Chains A and B, each alone.
Chain A
Amino acid sequence: MSFEKFVFWVFALILVFAAFRVITVRNPVHAALHLVLAFFTSAGLWMLMEAEFLAITLVLVYVGAVMVLFLFVVMMLDINVSPLKEGFISYLPVGATVAGLIIFEMAMLVGDRYFGLDKVAAPIARPADYSNTRELGSVLYTQYVYPFEIAAVILLVAIIAAIALTMRRREGTKHQDPAKQVLVKRNDRLKIIKMDAEKGE
């Protein structure tokens, strides 16, 4: 077994284990942490495929930002697990049928027929000075510039929509405006009054 294969198996086994734990573990924080591990190991697998830009971006975006926000929310939730488990038996037939269907469909698609070793050529190993980032950029901004820009606009619309949906001005909130606060001068707040000294009792 070559070294690369060994690394692949280590990452693949950790990935499958972490992905399995995401759905089986009881504690939602542990589930989120296993998801982080799954992202990280899949980044390792992408690195093995010489897609270093995508691998590092996966870590940067999903591990470094998305999952941090995820954990942020999950840690603050007070989830009581027991009501979620009620009715497990009564839902089991439907759930099992759906799961079986999905497994069947995926097995039909993602199998030897389309993704077998004879169907997909082995990737050519690139020399050390080959820049994955540069190649990706040049294709993205020439050949696929319109789909890329459209995707960016759709994302922008989604951001604006999400902000517009959650932005509500509630009455009676004590809102602070730091810009105003830093402009405050002494004379706005403080009044010096001259008064005679009082006699003690």
Chain B
Amino acid sequence: MLNAILEVVLILAKIVAIMVPLMLAVAYLTFAERKIIGYMQVRIGPNRVGPRGWLQPIADAVKLVMKEVIVPTNSNRFLFIIAPMLSIGPALAAWAVIPFDAGVVLADVDAGLLYILALTSMGVYGVIIAGWAANSKYAFLGAMRSAAQIVAYEIAMGFALVGVLMGAGSLNLTDIVLAQNGSLIHWFWLPMLPLFIIYFISGVAETNRAPFDVAEGESEIVAGFHVEYSGTTFAVFFLAEYANMIMIAALTALLFAGGWLSPFQGIPFLEAAFAWVPGIFWLLAKISFFLFFFLWFRATFPRYRYDQIMRLGWKVFIPLTIVWLVVVGVAIMAELGPWFD
């Protein structure tokens, strides 16, 4: 009995050890976003709260929590309150199978990749239910857009993951990273370049980020699905969106960019020189690298028109991934080096 309690306490401690840094990362990702986009637009960005604006995200969080949660009169109260929770739940639960280093993982699940795909596909319920329960036309339009978009891009995303699964021969994320062991060339980004690009773009679309943010397109439908949300309930949606962004960046790093493997592997002098750097540093560096792209996209591209989004998802990405799956299959059968020998 005591052992069982100890085990539960240990798991809880691990969850806290993942969640606290994640929440901090979300807070400072919003800060980074405002600063980076600020500099890209030749302005300074937030610089008033704390030294050089470093306390801005804390102030924002405190402000959001203190604000009143308004429930619209004709809304469905229960679904309206539960929608943000349905949004954040899958976004956090998916982190259970993410390995941070060899063996450093909360749950070393055999079907980890499938589990993540299933959980990320559930995040859409938060958006749909929020849009419907608010009983507002803008929110509803946002929810409909988001539903159609996520279904379209999930298929391309799934096919891209099938390529990784074929290459690694496993659904376990740790095994997938170890299958890329060798050098920078051995990582899957090179043999699966189209899948890598499609996965990342689909990830941007799946998280409803610019230029795919029609679900909340403020120039057309005010703020889309969360138009009626305020205070903490809005903050939770916000949190879920940024947690999902970090999730997509982490997955891209793990599946296509060698996870915690050092980029200097296999290079004569540099490998030894950087051998002391812990693996988690490389993983975090890669996650940051991909997160930067999210922000860069937002500062660069105008919003896609809705029919163009649908066309890109169904008519470009899905056929491309299917073709590349055949290519990967042939490469595996031909034992093409240095990846599949």
**Chain A interface residues toward B at CB < 8 A:** 29, 33, 36, 52-53, 56-57, 59-60, 63-65, 68-69, 71-72, 75-76, 129, 131-133, 176, 178
The answer for the CA separation of A133 and B115 in the assembled complex, in Å, is: 12
Q: Which residues of B contact A59 (CB under 8 A)?
A: 118, 121-122
From B115, B121, B308, give the contact of A65 (CB < 8 A).
B121
B114 touches A68 (CB 8 A): no
From A68, A75, A131, A133, give the contact of B132 (CB < 8 A).
A75
Among B111, B117, B143, find the residue whose CB has the most chain A CB atoms closer than 10 A.
B111
A75 touches B140 (CB 8 A): yes
State which of B38-46, B49-57, B147-155, B288-296 sits at the interface with chain A. Answer: B147-155
A69 touches B114 (CB 8 A): no
Between A and B, 11 residue pairs with Cβ closer than 8 Å are A33-B79, A33-B129, A36-B125, A52-B109, A59-B121, A63-B122, A64-B154, A68-B128, A71-B147, A178-B307, A178-B308
Closest 8 interchain pairs by CB? A64-B121, A60-B118, A59-B118, A56-B114, A56-B118, A72-B147, A52-B111, A178-B308
B110 touches A132 (CB 8 A): yes
Smallest Cβ-Cβ distance to B129: which chain A residue: A33
Smallest Cβ-Cβ distance to A63: which chain B residue: B122
Q: Is B144 an interface residue (CB 8 A)?
A: yes
Smallest Cβ-Cβ distance to A128: which chain B residue: B110
Given A59-B122, A63-B122, A65-B151, CB of A75 within 8 Å of CB of B144: yes
The answer for the CA separation of A2 and B214 in the assembled complex, in Å, is: 49
Q: Is B171 an interface residue (CB 8 A)?
A: yes
A68 touches B151 (CB 8 A): yes
Smallest Cβ-Cβ distance to A57: which chain B residue: B114
Shortest Cβ distance from A34 into chain B, in angstroms? 12
Given A65-B154, A75-B132, CB of A133 within 8 Å of CB of B171: yes
Given A76-B144, A132-B110, A133-B111, CB of A178 within 8 Å of CB of B311: yes
Q: Is B124 an interface residue (CB 8 A)?
A: yes
From A29, A72, A131, A133, give the contact of B148 (CB < 8 A).
A72
The answer for the CA separation of A168 and B311 in the assembled complex, in Å, is: 18
Among A52, A76, A132, find the residue whose CB has the most chain B CB atoms closer than 10 A.
A52
Given A72-B144, A75-B140, CB of A63 within 8 Å of CB of B121: yes
Q: Which residues of A contact B150 (CB under 8 A)?
A: 68
Shortest Cβ distance from B100 into chain A, in angstroms? 21
From B114, B121, B125, B148, give the contact of A53 (CB < 8 A).
B114
Q: Which residues of A contact B147 (CB under 8 A)?
A: 68-69, 71-72
Which residues from 94 to 114 on chain B have a C-beta closer than 8 Å to any C-beta of chain A?
A: 109-111, 114
Q: Which residues of B contact A131 (CB under 8 A)?
A: 110
Given A33-B129, A75-B140, CB of A60 within 8 Å of CB of B121: yes
Number of A-B contacts defined by CB within 8 Å: 67
Task: Known A-B contacts: A53-B111, A53-B114, A60-B114. Give 14 more (CB < 8 A).
Answer: A33-B79, A52-B111, A56-B111, A56-B118, A59-B122, A63-B118, A65-B121, A68-B151, A69-B147, A71-B132, A76-B144, A132-B111, A133-B111, A176-B307
Q: Mark B276-312, 1 if CB is under 8 A from A, else 0.
A: 0000000000000000000000000000000110010
The answer for the CA separation of A176 and B111 in the assembled complex, in Å, is: 42
Smallest Cβ-Cβ distance to B308: which chain A residue: A178
Among A33, A57, A68, find the residue whose CB has the most chain B CB atoms closer than 10 A.
A68
Q: Which residues of B contact A132 (CB under 8 A)?
A: 110-111
Q: Which residues of A contact B132 (CB under 8 A)?
A: 29, 71, 75
Q: Which residues of B contact A75 (CB under 8 A)?
A: 128, 132, 140, 143-144
Shortest Cβ distance from B29 into chain A, in angstroms? 26
The answer for the CA separation of A72 and B308 in the assembled complex, in Å, is: 20
The answer for the CA separation of A33 and B76 in the assembled complex, in Å, is: 13
Q: Which residues of B contact A60 (CB under 8 A)?
A: 114, 117-118, 121, 158
The answer for the CA separation of A10 and B110 in the assembled complex, in Å, is: 25
The answer for the CA separation of A36 and B124 in the assembled complex, in Å, is: 13
The answer for the CA separation of A29 and B144 in the assembled complex, in Å, is: 14
B121 touches A52 (CB 8 A): no
Shortest Cβ distance from B155 into chain A, in angstroms? 8
Shortest Cβ distance from B36 into chain A, in angstroms? 28
Q: Which residues of A contact B154 (CB under 8 A)?
A: 64-65
Q: Which residues of A contact B171 (CB under 8 A)?
A: 133
A69 touches B129 (CB 8 A): no
Q: Which residues of B contact A52 (CB under 8 A)?
A: 109-111
From B115, B118, B122, B128, give the contact of A71 (CB < 8 A).
B128
Q: Which residues of A contact B148 (CB under 8 A)?
A: 72
B124 touches A68 (CB 8 A): yes
Q: Which residues of B contact A57 (CB under 8 A)?
A: 114, 118
